[in-house]
Amino acid sequence: MHPFTLTRATDPAKAIEAHAGRPGLVFIAGGTDLLGLIKDRVVAPDELMDINELPGLSGIELLPGGGLRIGALARMSDVAAHPVVRERFPAISEALLFAASGQLRNMASMGGNIMQRTRCSYFRDDDGLPCNKREPGSGCSALRGINRNHAIFGWSEGCVATHPSDVAVAFAALDANVVVRNRDGERSVPFADFHQPPEPSPQRDTVLERGDLITAVEVPPRREGRASHYLKVRDRQSYEFALVSAAVAVTVADGRLESVRIAMGGVAHKPWRLTAAESALRGVSLEDTDGLRAAIATTFTDARPLEHNGFKVELAERAALRAVQTAGARA
């Protein structure tokens, strides 16, 4: 095993400085993803910096105007159970409750959750098979290998992996921002830009650079937030990643959809917004199941399934339909 040291950060500025200057240093929060990656020899850091004692990063607060700020070190279980989150953004609470297990949710942080890496087994297994994300330039074993769990949108020959976070899908639907601090100050990264496409650098998952510390995720005030829902479809009913999932938030007037936000998980390298369907759904009656189905199908003309995951296209369309109907019933 590669030896590493463990340090504890108490000052954000010093933590950022150390991360910027020492390439072998990685932040550790709950450790529920990072330690697995170390054991699977995907990463071999020289130094783990425990960031759990950094001040001011664990809060969950309602912002003036109705937005929500979730500290990067808030635990998944605390966010899921928070009354404001449950009432105003139920899709966020549901996405968290459908993730992992109770024990993991108690340990895992929100910053770590959106940073978690793909569950592609060629990436996770230490078996020497080509994987561009693990070993840049080596190839992609999943492209023509076992790709049942892989992407149907936005993939490249270099990588066909999917992003595994559930709550990231809800954040994408609600146009959240990731708040990042570095030596130059704080910036907000729109959720749509946070996860990188597989080209040109499949080994990079996000836009974060060395010296970047996630401090929070901010969800803007959204009328649609209250009528939101997260639906997750998986091989077994608990403790399993999504085959496909849908986060939907709507407003409804006179029984017709007025505005619709839909993001899907398990289908791409990042939460995938169904922008064509969002436009096509506006004005459709919630009673008109055929109309809803046809509007959702407009996005799926872009789907490019792989050899083993053609079933995901219909599954995702059905999941999106069910999630729209459930969110609509909450409006």
Ligand X SMILES: Cc1cc2nc3c(=O)[nH]c(=O)nc-3n(C[C@H](O)[C@H](O)[C@H](O)COP(=O)(O)OP(=O)(O)OC[C@H]3O[C@@H](n4cnc5c(N)ncnc54)[C@H](O)[C@@H]3O)c2cc1C
262 binds, among ligand X, ligand SF4, none (CB under 5 to 8 A by kind): none
The strand pair at 213-219 and 68-71 is best described as antiparallel
The Cβ of residue 90 has, within 10 Å, a number of other Cβ atoms equal to 20
Q: Are 91 and 247 in contact (CB under 8 A)?
A: yes
In angstroms, give the least distance from the CB of 143 to ligand SF4. 6
Pairing of strands 60-62, 68-71: antiparallel
Task: Provide CB contacts within 8 A for 35, sequence distance 6+.
Answer: 28
Return the number of the residue (34 or 303) whose C-beta is nearest ligand X: 34
179 binds ligand X (CB under 6 A): no
Please, which residues bridge with residue 189 across strands? Answer: 178
- Using CB under 6 A, count the residues that bind ligand X: 28
Over its C-alpha atoms, the chain yields an Rg (Å, rounded) of: 20
Tokens (6 digits) for 24 = 């072998």
Q: Indicate whether 224 belongs to the interface with ligand X (CB under 6 A).
A: no
Q: Which residues bind ligand SF4 (CB under 6 A)?
A: 118, 120, 122-123, 131-133, 140-142, 159-161, 202
Q: How far is the CB of 101 from ligand SF4 (least distance, A)?
A: 24
Helices (H) and strands (E) in the chain, counts: 13, 12
Return the one option of ligand SF4, ligand X, none that residue 265 interacts with (CB less than 5 to 8 A, by type). none
Which of 98/122 has CB closer to ligand SF4? 122
Nearest CA to 274 among 261, 283, 287?
Answer: 261
- Piece in contact with ligand X (CB under 6 A), picked from 109-117, 137-145, 148-156, 276-284: 109-117
**Using CA atoms, how far apart are residues 265 and 5, in angstroms rounded to an integer?**
36
Report if residue 71 touches ligand X, rule: CB under 6 A.
no
Which region, judged by CB under 6 A, interacts with ligand X, from 6-14, 27-35, 275-283, 304-312? 27-35
Residue placing its CB nearer to ligand SF4 in the complex, 90 or 202: 202
Asked whether the beta carbons of 140 and 131 are under 8 A apart, the reply is yes
Residue from 176, 179, 213, 320 that binds ligand X (CB under 6 A)?
Answer: 213
Nearest in space to 328 (alpha carbons), one of 290, 294, 295, 281: 281
Region binding ligand X by CB under 6 A among candidate stretches 112-120, 270-278, 282-290, 292-300 = 112-120
Distance CA 10, CA 52 (A): 8
Query: Which partner from the list ligand SF4, ligand X, none does 159 bind, CB cut-off 5 to 8 Å by kind?
Result: ligand SF4
- Does residue 214 interact with ligand X by CB under 6 A? yes
Rounded least distance, CB 322 to ligand X, Å: 19
Q: Give the whole-angstrom CA distance, residue 327 versus residue 173.
A: 13
Greatest alpha-carbon pair distance for the chain in Å reads 63
Nearer to ligand SF4, 82 or 163 (CB): 163
Closest CA to 267 of 150, 174, 175: 150
Q: Which of 9, 15, 34, 231 binds ligand X (CB under 6 A)?
A: 34
The answer to whether 28 touches 107, Cβ cutoff 8 Å, is: no
When the beta carbons of 76 and 160 are compared against ligand SF4, the nearer one is: 160
**Toward ligand X, which CB reaches closer, 245 or 326?**
245
Q: Which is nearer to ligand SF4, 10 or 138 (CB)?
A: 138
Residue 32 makes contact with ligand X by CB under 6 A: yes
The answer to the question of residue 176 lying near ligand X (CB under 6 A) is no
| 166 lies in the binding site for ligand X (CB under 6 A) | yes
Count CA atoms closer than 13 A to 284's CA, side-chain side: 23
Near ligand X by CB under 6 A: residue from 9, 15, 16, 28: 28
